Amino acid sequence: MNYYDFQVVFQEVPGEISLCFSICGCPLKCDGCHSPYLWKEFNGDTLTNERFLELLQQYENLATCVLFMGGEWHEEQLVNMLKLARQKCYKTCLYTGQDQVSKTILDELNWVKIGKWDPNLGGLNSEKTNQKFIEIKSNTIKNNLFIKN
């Protein structure tokens, strides 16, 4: 599983400082995608367990969540990374353009963002979006956290 970049982000998971990994090989190829370079599976670098754990250690006591932008198409590797993050006391989130995710992946998540990007409907900060930000434990949609009043 390759990742194109790694960033520390503040808005994607409300209330959390997240270590964000953009995973390569996205099969969806959504119209208007802001990251078409993620369509190519072998872009970026291999996300090894060693590199992943190194980053988790580096940001220990600073970040609270690990966020994967995609990667569900590498289910076994993604689940392994999510388990490693949880063992290190990080919360976990997945952003996917799919409308559903396997139970195996969901079992390792605190949150999931589902739904294909539609430029006519907007993202999570749009009241008409088709996307859903779901808290797994309560199975509730938390899009309201992204809407500015």
Question: What is the pLDDT averaged over residues 59-68?
Answer: 97
- Which pLDDT belongs to residue 58? 97
DSSP string across 58-70: HTTTT--EEEEES
pTM of the predicted structure, to 2 decimals? 0.95
pLDDT in tens, 74-103: 999 999 999 999 999 999 999 999 999 999
Residue 141 has pLDDT above 80, yes or no: yes
- Domain locations along the chain: 2-146
CA distance to 28, 63, 78, 95, per residue, from 69 (Å): 13, 17, 11, 5
Question: Percent of the chain having pLDDT more than 90?
Answer: 85
Length in residues, the chain: 149
Q: Class of 2-146 per CATH?
A: alpha beta
State the virtual CA torsion across 31, 94, 15, 124 in degrees, nearest 10: 30
Contact indicator for 78, 47 with CB cutoff of 8 Å? no
Closest CA to 1 of 24, 18, 17: 24
Angstrom distance (rounded) from CA 119 to CA 30: 10
